[in-house]
């Protein structure tokens, strides 16, 4: 059974801090790893990672994948209150028949206090 484990499950930091969120996985037929941010409603897409060691960056957020050790990290620098959300890690596997399935971790709830 495919498995995605995120840590920590929750985190409280002060504005300006840097945080690192972790995601480890065990998946058959791995294709990619995705990070999403979920505030009140639907998850919004942040990054898709397919290759080891190549950092993806968007503003203060960055992420990297290690396919040998089967994990990824999501870094957020100079955190702001607007970064408060649940961050979801998902791993994409090829289930055959033209469908790509995502297995999600339980998420890390980040709270940024002023």
Interface positions with other proteins (CB under 8 A): 31-32, 34, 36, 41-45, 48, 88, 90, 92, 97-107
- DSSP letter, residue 56: E
Question: Which residue lies nearer to other proteins by CB, 71 or 104?
Answer: 104
Shortest separation between residue 88's beta carbon and other proteins, angstroms = 7
Do 43 and 88 touch, CB atoms closer than 8 A? yes
Which helix or strand (DSSP H or E) is residue 89 part of?
strand 85-94
Give whichever of 25 and 36 is closer to other proteins, judged by the CB atom: 36
Counting Cα atoms < 13 Å in the Cβ hemisphere of 92 gives 13
Shortest distance (Å) from residue 11 CB to other proteins = 16
Between 57 and 106, CB nearer to other proteins: 106
Pair 41, 104: CB distance under 8 Å: no
């Amino acid at each position: 059974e495919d498995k995605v484990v995120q840590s920590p499950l929750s985190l409280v930091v002060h504005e300006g801090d840097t945080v690192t969120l972790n995601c480890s996985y065990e998946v058959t037929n791995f294709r990619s790893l995705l990070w999403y941010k979920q505030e009140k409603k639907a998850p919004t897409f942040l990054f898709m990672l397919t290759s080891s060691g190549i950092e993806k960056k968007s503003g203060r957020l960055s992420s990297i994948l290690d396919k040998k050790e089967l994990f990824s990290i999501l870094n957020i620098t100079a955190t702001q209150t607007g970064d408060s959300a649940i961050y979801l890690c998902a791993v994409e596997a090829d289930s055959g028949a033209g469908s790509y399935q995502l297995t999600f971790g339980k998420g890390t709830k980040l709270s940024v206090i002023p």
